[in-house]
Amino acid sequence: MTAVFPLPGERPVQGLWARRMALSVLVLTLLSLNAVAEPSCSAHPLALQILGSGGPVADDSRASSGYLLWHQGRSRLLVDAGSGVFTRFGEAGARFADLDLLALSHFHTDHAASLPALLKSGYFSSRRRPLPVVGPGAAGPFPSLDQFLHRLLDRKQGAFAYLAGYLTGTDGLVKLEPTTVKVDLREPVTVYDAGGLRVEALPVPHGIVPALAFRATVAGRTLVFGSDQNGSGAAFKDLARGADLLVLHAAIPERAGRAARSLHAVPSRLADIARDTDPATLVISHWMARSLRHQQAIASSIVEQYGGKLALAQDLDCFPLLPEVQQEQDSDVP
Ligand SMILES: [Zn+2]
């Protein structure tokens, strides 16, 4: 790990020290510029709200992964539903009835454990139309999206069999419409395209775990969600290139062990991705205690290589993507 601040007894090189102090100030300044902390992210014509900026360990005081796309007052796209996202979904004022797509990157608890709770909550909503859901295919011990839904909801074998109506559109529940993305795909595939919102999915390397990155295009803006990945896949850079907002995950510090590095990207790899894909704004999320301890150093090292706008996600942060006055001319939606 590169030390940004001098350790006790050390005297840093003056020029390097001054440069890194300036980078730290820049990071903090960008933080205050990018993230708009307010209760109503929904009021923006287009915005991304962080529902969960944490990881799988209960040591970061954050909800696990979840990202909500607001468009014209509607909560249209939910990417991931990790532990705690259920609570943040309500706090954000999101509506189950408004969801056009639920995109699950993979079946680790910190990305999918809130799903049954959100579905139960949805029973009380006004929703009548089916709910499209996208997720990865099976590999090793990890189920496909279809298997995952059946293991939760099957009328005979499901853990939450009382919600089985979600598989059939009965019992007062809307039908889930699953789209399973094959894990050996090398090119992105469109998984949703309606109402001016297009979402593509691409498998990304996350150890043995089948995982998907997503690219959403709406109202002339593009958002890319890197999900959990080790950053070694070349195709992801093509998916992410030129995004208005790119969300990457900083789960591990630079000196993480081999097992962790097979699952997650180290900060220098995040910086490499950001430099090569050049997003208008880079949001670093999926913080865990082990990466939060090095948060300032991670941010500074990324800024040093990437040079663009960087924000460090916190739960319920809001990132507007469309100026208020340009709502009409930039919108694809009639
Ligand atoms: Zn994760």
Could you read off the pLDDT of 211-243 as tens digits, one per residue?
999 999 999 999 999 999 999 999 999 999 999
Structural domain includes residue 72: yes
Q: What is the CATH number of the domain that holds 140?
A: 3.60.15.10
Per the structure, the complete domain to which residue 307 belongs is given by 39-321
Distance 8 CA to ligand 1 centre (A): 34
- Find out whether 101 and 222 touch, Cβ atoms under 8 Å: no
Work out the number of other CB atoms within 10 angstroms of the CB of residue 234.
8
What was the pLDDT predicted at 77?
Answer: 99
% of residues, the chain, pLDDT over 90: 84
Distance 318 CA to ligand 1 centre (A): 21
Distance 108 CA to ligand 1 centre (A): 7
First-last CA distance in the chain: 50
- Find out whether 325 and 48 touch, Cβ atoms under 8 Å: no
Structural domain includes residue 30: no
- Find out whether 110 and 263 touch, Cβ atoms under 8 Å: no
Distance 206 CA to ligand 1 centre (A): 10
- Find out whether 252 and 32 touch, Cβ atoms under 8 Å: no
Structural domain includes residue 161: yes
Query: In this structure, which amino acid lies at residue 22?
Result: A
Structural domain includes residue 228: yes
pTM metric for this prediction: 0.87
Banded model confidence at residue 334, pLDDT cuts 50, 70, 90: very low
Structural domain includes residue 19: no
Structural domain includes residue 133: yes
Could you read off the pLDDT of 32-68 as tens digits, one per residue?
445 555 559 999 999 999 999 999 999 999 999 999 9
Distance 110 CA to ligand 1 centre (A): 5
Sign of CA dihedral 268, 79, 70, 132: positive
Structural domain includes residue 11: no
Distance 17 CA to ligand 1 centre (A): 33
Distance 109 CA to ligand 1 centre (A): 8
Residues with Cβ < 8 Å from 296, sequence gap 6 or more?
A: 4, 5, 24, 27
Q: How many helices (DSSP H) and strands (DSSP E) are in the chain?
A: 12, 14
Total domains, the chain:
1
Q: For the sheet containing 131-136, what is the strand order? A: 176-181, 131-136, 101-103, 74-79, 66-71, 46-52, 318-320
Structural domain includes residue 34: no
